[in-house]
Structure 1
Amino acid sequence: MNGQTILVTGAAGFIGSHSAEALIDLGYKVVGVDNFCDFYDRSWKEMNLKSVGPGIDVEEIDITDGAAIDRLVGKAKPVAILHLAAMAGVRPSIEQPAYYARVNVEGTTHLLQAAVKHKVKKFLFASSSSVYGNMSKVPFQEEDAGYEPVSPYAATKRAGELLCYTFWHLYKMPTFCLRFFTVYGPRQRPDLAIHKFTRLITRGEPVPFFGDGTTSRDYTFVEDTVSGIMKALEHCDRYRVYNLGGSDPVTLKDLVEELQRAIGKTAILDKRPSQPGDVERTFADLTRASSEIGYKPSVSLAEGLKRFVEWFKQYGHLYKLPGEQSAEKPTVA
C-alpha cells in the first residue's frame, strides 16, 4: 500500500482535505485536483491544504476539462480515484441548473472515462443523501426505489450514480457511490448551516430560520465520514451504493438549541418561510454500510459541535462572506 497514488478531486475542500490527510496517514501518495472556484474565498481552500501538510501535490484543473483530466490520470497512474469535486448546494443549483449539470455530470463522466482508459483499479464517487428526495419511508435504505430528487443538485448526484453503474456494467471497474449525510466539522464550508449559524450567533446577528423548525437532518461528523471513505476504499470490489450518515436525525430547532449550548450564547432567530428544494428530512439506514464495509459513526452531535465551535473560535472569525465586514485572511487551521 505504501507509495501507491490516490487521485482526490476537490482535494482543497472540506471533506477533500480531511480525506487527503487520512490517506497520507495510511501511507498513500495523494495527487489532488481542485479548480479553486469562487463559490467561497480561495484563501480558505489554500488554508485547508496547508493543514494537510506535506504529502499532497495539487493540480489546479477544472474537471470539465476532459483533456487535462485524461493527461493527469495518465501521468499520476493512481490505483484509485476519490471523486469529491462538485458544485455543491441545493439553493444555488436552482439558480444555475445548467452549470451544476455541466460540472457534476459532465465532469464525472470525464473522470470515469480517464479511469477506465488508464486502468484505475477503484473509483469512489461522492454522492448525497439529497438523492432520496422527500421519501416518506425512513430510514433511507440504498435499495429504496422511486427516488425523486427535488433540486438540480440532487438530480446531478443521482445522475452521477447512474453513470458510475453504467461504467461498471461496461468495463467492470469497481465503483462505490457514497451517499453523504450533512457532513460538518472543522473546515466546513462557511455557507453551510452549522458554520453559518455559529458565525451569526457568535456575532449576535440574526440567524435565518427556515420553516417551523421541524425539518430534520442526519448530521455526520467529518471524522466519521472520512472513516467511511477509508473503509470503502479498502473494500471496493464491485458496484455498490452506501449510506454514510449518523443515523440519528436532529430537527432544526434542536440543532439551534444544541449550538447555543456549545457556543454559550442565545441565538436571535429570523424566521422565514420554507425554501424550495429543501427536503423535509434525511435519515440514513446504516445496515448495509455497517455489515459490508464496517462503517460505524462514533461522534455524537454534542461532541461534534463542541469540536467545531473550538475550531471556529480559533479560525472562523477570519472568514468573510460577501456583504460581511470581516476582511482578515485565514492563516492555518
Structure 2
Amino acid sequence: MKTALVTGSAGFIGHHVAARLLDAGWRVIGLDNLSDYYDPTLKHRRNAQLSGDIEHVTGDIAKPGLVAGLMETHRPEAVIHLAAQAGVRHSIDAPRTYLHANLAGTFELLEAARAYPPAHLLMASTSSVYGASPDMPYREIDRADHPISFYAATKKAGEAMAHSYASLYRLPTTLFRFFTVYGPWGRPDMAPFKFVRAILADETIDVYNHGRMRRDFTYVDDLVTGITGLIDVIPGDVPVSAADSLSPVAPHRIVNIGNGEAVELDRFIAAIEAATGRTATRNLMDMQPGDVPATWADTILLTDLLGHALPRTPIEEGVRAFVAWYLSEYAPDDTT
C-alpha cells in the first residue's frame, strides 16, 4: 500500500484529493490546522466524509519539525502540499497570515522533504501568479514576474523556494497552478458559494468589474484527476515537448490545471439561476484591488504529461452538482 501525505486535507481541494487517493487504495496522512478563516465546522464535516486508511493530524504546518516528524514516521511516497492561506482579497487585510502559512509553512515542508525525500513532491500554486498579463491563454513557459496581490506573491515565492530545493537536493517537484476551482464542499468565501447562498435567500449578489469578468472555472473532480494523474509523472531530465516548463537545472516542473476556457461571469450566474430556479439581483461594482479581469489556462502541457486531455465538466453540469450539494448540506428553509 502506498502512502501519501496531504497537507490542507480538510480544505476544499485537499478533501477531494484525499478522497480520491483513498478510493484508489492509498494510505493517507492528512494534516490540517482547522483554521477559523472560515467556519471550521465545514472542515470537520469534510473529514467525517472520508473513509478508508486515513490518519487525521491537526497541527500548524509552519511549526518547526511537525512535518518532518510525520515524514520520518510514515515515509510517504507522495507528498501533496495543499495547505495555504487562500484568498486574494483577504491577503490585503491580513498579509501576515500569508507570510506564516505560505512562506514559513512551505519552508518547513521543503526542509522535511530534504530530510526524508518522497518519490515525488507535488505543490499547489495559483493562476494568480500570472498577474494582470494580457497574454492569454496563460502558458507555463511565459514569464510570471508581476503578481498584483500579496497572496500571489507568496505563491510565486513558494515556486521559487521549491525550485531551489529541487536543484540543491535533486528533489523531484511538480507545481500546480490552479485556476478558479468550484464544486461540492467549496469554500464559503468563494463566489460560487456566496452567490448560491445569496440567491437562495433573495439577497443581492456583488458582481465586480460590472460583470465584465471571465474566469477559467474548473470543476473540482476534473482538477483532482489532473493532480492524481501526475503523481507518477515525475520530473526528470528530458522535456516532454516544446511546451514543457521543466527546469534546465532541476527536476522541477510547473503545470497549469484548468478547464482551458475563459467563461463570462454572467454565464456562471445564469447557470446558478437555472439550477436554483431563482433570479439573481446584481449589485454591479468596480474591480477590487488585487483582482484581474480574466483568467484562461493553456493546458497543452497537462495533456502532454497525462497522455490525454483532462475531463472538462460543462459549467451548467458542475453548477448543478454544487447547488445540489449546497441544498443537501444547508437546506435553507426558504427552498424547501
| TM-score bucket of the superposed structures, by smaller chain | over 0.9
Provide the rounded CA distance (Å) in 1 between the counterparts of 2:51 and 2:107.
30
2:300 corresponds in structure 1 to: 287
The AA in structure 1 aligned to 2:221 is E
Specify every segment of 5 or more residues in structure 1 that has no aligned partner in the other structure, as ranges. 319-324, 327-333
Q: Which amino acid aligns with 1:243?
A: N
Could you tell me whether the CA contact under 8 Å between 1:249 and 1:283 is conserved in 2?
yes
**Residues 61 and 69 of structure 1 are in contact (CA less than 8 Å); yes or no, is this contact kept in structure 2?**
no
**Residues 37-81 of structure 1: per-residue CA shift (max 9 Å, x gap):** 001111111110111123211111101102222212111211111
Residue 179 (structure 1) shift: 0.6
1:236-257 per-residue CA deviation (whole Å, 9 max, x = no partner) reads 2331110000011112222212
Which ranges of 4 or more aligned residues in structure 1 deviate by more than 6 Å?
Answer: none
1-side partners of 2:10 and 2:294: how far apart?
29
Residues matched between the structures, number: 318
**Structure-2 residue corresponding to 1:24:** 22
Give the conservation status (yes or no) of the 8 Å contact 1:18–1:52: no
Q: Which residue of 1 aligns with 2:254?
A: 241
Residue in structure 2 matched with residue 330 of structure 1 by the alignment = none
Determine the C-alpha separation between the residues in 1 that align with 2:97 and 2:17.
Answer: 26
SS at match of 2:134: coil
Contact preservation (8 Å) 1:225, 1:245: yes
1:89 pairs with 81, 87, 90, which one?
A: 87
**Paired residues for 1:231-270 under 5 Å:** 231-237=229-235, 238-270=251-283
Could you tell me which residue of structure 2 aligns to residue 277 of structure 1? 290
Length-normalised TM-score, structure 1: 0.92
Give TM-score, length-normalised by structure 2.
0.92
Structure 2 match to 1:68: 66
Contact 2:131 2:144 in 1 (8 A): no
- In the TM superposition, residue 98 of structure 1 has moved relative to its aligned partner by 2.4
Kindly indicate whether the alpha-carbon contact (under 8 Å) linking 2:230 and 2:305 is maintained by their aligned counterparts in 1: no
CA deviations over 1:165-185 (Å, ceiling 9, x no partner): 111110111100001111100
Residue correspondence of structure 1 range 134-145 to structure 2 within 5 A: 134-145=132-143
* 2:46 equivalent in structure 1: 48
Q: Answer whether contact 2:87 2:151 (CA < 8 A) is retained.
A: yes
Structure 1 counterpart of 2:132, one-letter code: N
**CA RMSD between the two structures:** 1.5
Match of 2:246 in 1: none
AA matched with 1:134: A
SS across alignment from 2:65: helix
Gaps spanning 5+ residues in structure 2: where? 236-250
Between stretches 289-298 and 241-250, larger displacement belongs to 289-298
Amino acid at match of 1:314: S
Secondary structure of the corresponding residue to residue 124 of structure 1: strand
Structure 2 CA distance for aligned equivalents of residues 43 and 92 of structure 1: 20
Q: Does 1:104 align with 2:106?
A: no
- C-alpha separation in 1, matches of 2:294 and 2:224: 23
Counterpart selection for 2:217 from 192, 213, 219: 219
SS of the counterpart of 2:270?
A: helix
2:85–2:98 CA contact under 8 A, matched in 1: yes
